[in-house]
């Protein structure tokens, strides 16, 4: 039976992500080495913490080339929170540290405008209703965020969802069979479960199908 590989590189909220994916029908395997993910029908890159530390851990565990090959092979990939930010080129949180460059662009810190940083709590998103990862959601659905930095992709067309906190920013990025969320779907109740359910469904489809 096929499985979804949940990457354990020392900086992810693994148990809550694993339980949420299993709840919506996914068969999950937590992997600490790329070889353990061989044959996976999908890959999840979770993450909490610092961009520089995250990239150091990914490099040390050998997951950087694995993740790039995942994308080249058209295997569905889900990035969550820091796992989304590391898909870009760089972050102001760790100057000089290269990201995965799966989505060209930068990660920036929220501006100092008297608002609380980080953003912690529930906020609504607007999104592309045609995106298969966002199927069965209503506009302005609420999701749970915890972050001080936000993604700014070079190509605006990869922004699948937007949110406003001081400024409008990319709440989710998507291209083909890749989806990445700044919010935590595993902590976002029914709306988050809907996204995870869509991801599990996409993992079960032939890669030749269009997303």
Q: Which residues are part of the catalytic machinery?
A: 81, 184, 186
DSSP class of 201? H
Q: Within a 10 A sphere around the Cβ of 104, how many other Cβ atoms?
A: 13
Radius of gyration of the chain (CA): 16
Kindly list the distances between the CA atom of residue 72 and the CA atoms of 69, 96, 148, 150, 153, in Å, as whole numbers in the listed order: 5, 25, 30, 25, 19
Query: What's the rounded Cα separation, in Å, for the pair 134 and 160?
Result: 9
What tokens appear for 44 in the block? 């999840």
Upstream peptide bond of 118 is cis (omega within 30 degrees of 0): yes
Q: How many CA atoms lie within 13 A of 200 on its CB side?
A: 19
DSSP class of 48? -
Non-local (6+) Cβ contacts of 36 within 8 A are 5, 29
């Amino acid at each position: 039976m096929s499985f979804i590989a949940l990457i354990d590189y020392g900086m992810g909220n693994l148990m809550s992500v694993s339980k949420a994916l299993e709840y919506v029908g996914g068969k999950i395997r937590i992997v600490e080495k790329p070889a353990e993910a061989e044959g996976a029908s999908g890959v999840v890159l979770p993450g909490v913490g610092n961009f520089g530390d995250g990239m150091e851990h990914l490099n040390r565990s050998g997951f950087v080339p694995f993740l790039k090959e995942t994308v080249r092979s058209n295997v569905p990939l889900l990035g969550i929170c820091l796992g989304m930010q590391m898909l870009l080129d760089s972050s102001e949180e760790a100057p000089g540290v290269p990201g995965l460059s799966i989505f060209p662009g930068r990660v920036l810190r929220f501006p100092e405008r008297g608002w609380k940083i980080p953003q912690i709590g529930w906020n609504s998103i607007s999104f592309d209703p045609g995106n298969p990862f966002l199927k069965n959601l209503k506009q302005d659905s609420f999701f749970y965020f915890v972050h001080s930095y936000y993604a700014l992709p070079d190509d605006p067309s990869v922004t699948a969802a937007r949110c406003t906190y001081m400024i409008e920013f990319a709440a989710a990025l998507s291209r083909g069979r890749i989806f990445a969320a700044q919010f935590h779907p595993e902590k976002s109740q029914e709306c988050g479960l809907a996204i995870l359910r869509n991801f599990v469904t996409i993992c079960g489809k032939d890669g030749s199908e269009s997303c």
